[in-house]
Structure 1
């Protein structure tokens, strides 16, 4: 054999070895495949063999794969893809969950500070009613928190209840303090009389207006953030169809059965497989985009009388205005109450003294206005970050293929059957309707779980729209 023939023979031998194909020097082994699947090699044969029972990785030549391996690697391929999806959404999920927790914590702090400010107002300015008023103050802010965090309570109701309970105290201790106390029946009559002649002027109506306009958007905003977390958790764990699992197996592992381990899938091939597998998620795109837009609009609307932080921080000032107005009109109010309820029957009681915990004042009660706006600033930062994820569900397949899975343009790539220069099949778009022409994955109808999530997104978007129309 001449030198040139020898060189050609060596090149052919090396090529056969690289492809893992049999050659005249002896049988090829599955050792390279074994190394690649080091953690999943159960059932891997020692040497290539015929694979007539294969369902997906069908090959005319001997193969390193078995039917059992196919089944295991189909599960593995789906698990790997689910892990990639969870990794892709991890930043978005952390952004929303971190801010949801921070918003709730900030609101809880603001509610506590507002309660402390109101209690301190009574202790410093109206100490004679501070102890009895404390119960009403605590109940009021408990209701504020319950409404914000989703409970079925009505702001108008608990605002009315607060001022109804406050008036008998103001009347018996500040307007007509002729004795230590009055009977429960008389106090109840005075309470009901408030609704007839409005001793606090328009203050209760102002409080109702401010609470309604500020608490409702805050409540919707928190609900929307929790829904965002639910959407991501749902899509992170959405099971793939059997047809998708087979397509993922073919794209990721069938090349290895033929000894073509270094080759990545072609770009178009990868897009077809992932756009088919993620077609259900792509249906979320317009609703997710609208959801983020509704959060932007809701955040923008939460200012002035719609800013819950401003309203809570200044609640005690309105309460003070209400008490002062009743006090200034004391003589007229006394005459009106006497006509309706008569004169009180005094019951001797032991007067209490307001006891304010100065350590609580120091640590929990911040000076109103000093750091006002912290909630608005946090919302602004959050919305700016969230805008970057408006197209998350619409471009998920493209992102995974372009940045992680597919071969770069111009490089030899795997097309599901062989290593080629380029993928020649039609590349379909995103979404379920576009999958009718997908040569790699068959998609059947809408997933009911995705439909349910879409309905929830529509509900939050509609709530925001109704709120905006009412302003």
Structure 2
């Protein structure tokens, strides 16, 4: 009947109205949120439509597409994504120090080989068989210098042993009319510091070699125990709220507002931002060193001059042999005369000749064909301001936050819309005004404060090296700050480890690289 037909039509309309009302109310679909969530996680607990959000702990308690288990899972993912973002952002630090150390190490070892070869050829031509008879002492010098480079011996001991052995041999050569017992030559060595038989050359060489090497001293860390970057509960809450609460609201593609992202990152990285001042001082000092390497204190010329400096010491003793011998005889007694012997050949008598320098073909560059100063300059400058810029770098990633110009179509932490709070300033103290999390500014991170102090120690050591002051480092005083700051790139987990059981990590590369810079300065300073 007509009445029945009207009734059916009305029921259909009513069903449509109810369906539309449900879609507009609490029964909206969670299909898009399920799709995004399912790309990384199981969908067992993911609702198909919006449910009441009374169970939520981190996101707004509105109708939601997230169960309690989903919220916990997404909170863990937000922490992992944050650490990954820090790692990705600091990747250039990892790349720089591992590659630069490897290239520097190749450069250094090749340069030492050429320097030793140059000395051998020069002294063979200059001193003839007198050098070849005493060649082991010079070979031992370069062997010990290589050991010093790897931190196995003290530089003071290396050079002291070299000059002590050399003074015995040269003293015997300039006094061929006498016989010298081992006890007598030991007496000569004991008087060497007072007599200064080589003038100030040993002191200069000590400074120069210290500049050249920068003793490799490294504290070793791995990635299992302590966290260099600790993600606190307040940080996790803020990370979850900005990155995944939109998903729980059924808006997984909505990015957090740029200013919201900055406040969250500045709160999570508050302690690390306080590293920036001392970090910049460290980079500035390294830049000064690099400028010296490219200027009058040329690295390769310094290595080339080792043989010249040693020869200058020998020449000084030859030229002052009468005065030196008289003082030795006064302190150690008159030695026994030696039987008659042939005169030295003209080559041995002539002494110092014109010393050749490296040819262009012999001069080592690096594996990439560039000189050391050019190798370093392009890499250091971008590292200034790294820690203060880190929040901006992360938030400028379109995957992490909305564009700064998109102020209305973004997630403000509660709903879609403009983010109104101001962006807080950098550093721990300024987080008292951070609207996104509570940061205890009265309790700075102990490890970060330690790193700040150690960066200051590193800067002072480099400045001392520039002024020509040597300091043999010990393991406990290594530049751990530089290591720890740089090792953020390695998943931000750091653990002190027994060196005997350690693998080569970024820590070693960075510390070797930084320490080598310091040592080479002291070789170069007197070669201008």
- Specify if TM > 0.5: yes
In structure 1, stretches of 5+ residues that fail to align are: 1-8, 348-365
Q: Which has the higher contact order (CA 8 A, sep 6+)?
A: 2
Cα 1:145–1:428 change in 2 (3 A) is same
Q: Which residue of 1 aligns with 2:139?
A: 138
Q: Is the 8 A contact 1:436 1:442 kept in 2?
A: yes
Cα distance between partner residues in 1 of 2:249 and 2:384: 41
| TM-score, scaled relative to structure 1 | 0.77
Hey, what does 1:397 align to over in structure 2? 391
What is aligned with 1:54? 56
Instruction: Name the count of aligned residue pairs.
Output: 425
Task: Check the 8 A contact 1:429/1:435 in 2, yes or no.
Answer: yes
1:413 is aligned to 410
Point out where structure 2 has 5 or more consecutive residues left out of the alignment.
1-13, 340-355, 470-528
Taking the aligned partners of 2:145 and 2:325, their CA distance within structure 1 comes to 32
Structure with the bigger percentage of helix: 1
Question: 1:323: Cα distance to partner?
Answer: 3.2
Give the distance between the partners of 2:18 and 2:371, measured in 1 at CA: 68
SS at match of 2:90: helix
Tell me if structure 2 keeps the 8 A contact 1:149–1:219.
no
One of 297, 303, 323 as aligned partner of 1:312 = 303
Q: Distance in 1 between matches of 2:139 and 2:438?
A: 59
| Equivalent-residue separation in structure 2 for 1:391 and 1:13 (angstroms) | 59
Superposition map of 1:55-94 within 5 A: 55-61=57-63, 63-94=64-95
Deviation of 1:390 after TM superposition, in Å, equals 0.8
Paired residues for 1:80-119 under 5 Å:
80-119=81-120
**Aligned residue in 2 for 1:168:** 168
* CA pair 197-32 structure 1, distance change in 2 beyond 3 A: closer
Correspondence 1:298 to 2:289: yes
329-338 vs 411-420, which moves further: 329-338
**Match for residue 353 of structure 1?**
none
Task: Indicate conservation of the 8 Å contact 2:294/2:374, yes or no.
Answer: no
CA–CA separation in structure 2 for the residues paired with 1:262 and 1:443? 29
Asked if structure 1 preserves the Cα contact closer than 8 Å seen for 2:257 and 2:411, the reply is yes
From 378, 381, 393, the counterpart of 1:384: 378
Is the 1:235–1:281 contact (alpha carbons within 8 Å) kept by the matching residues of 2?
no
> In the TM superposition, what is the alpha-carbon distance from 1:244 to its structure 2 partner?
0.5
Indicate the residue corresponding to 2:463 in structure 1: 465
Looking at structure 2, the residues matched to 59 and 304 of structure 1 have their Cα atoms a distance apart, in angstroms, of 65
Q: Which residue does 1:219 correspond to in 2?
A: 214
Contact 2:239 2:264 in 1 (8 A): yes
Q: 1:305 to 1:342 in 2, by over 3 A?
A: farther
- Output the aligned Cα RMSD: 4.0
Superposition deviation, residue 89 in structure 1: 0.8
The separation in 2 between residues aligned to 1:42 and 1:133, in whole angstroms, is 79
- Find the aligned partners of 2:468 and 2:307 in 1 and give their Cα distance: 27
Distance change in 2, residues 1:122/1:414 (3 Å): same
Report the Cα distance in structure 1 between the residues aligned to 2:411 and 2:108, rounded to whole angstroms: 54
Contact 2:205 2:309 in 1 (8 A): no
1:30 Cα offset (Å): 3.4
Q: Which of 340, 354, 368 does residue 358 from structure 2 map onto? A: 368
Deviates more, 1:400-409 or 1:323-332: 323-332
Which of residues 420, 423, 430 is equivalent to 2:419? 423
How much does 1:335 deviate?
A: 6.3
Give the Cα separation in 1 of the matches to 2:123 and 2:459.
42
Measured after TM superposition, the shift of residue 212 of structure 1 is: 0.9
C-alpha separation in 2, matches of 1:121 and 1:22: 94
- Residue 310 of structure 1: how far off its partner (Å): 2.7
In 1, Cα distance between equivalents of 2:227 and 2:380: 18
Q: Distance in 1 between matches of 2:461 and 2:190?
A: 35
1:371-423, Cα deviation, whole Å (9 max, x unpaired): 66958942344233321221211111112212332223245111121111x11
Structure 2 residue 204 is matched with structure 1 residue 209: yes
Change (3 A) 1:459 1:251: same
CA pair 134-469 structure 1, distance change in 2 beyond 3 A: closer
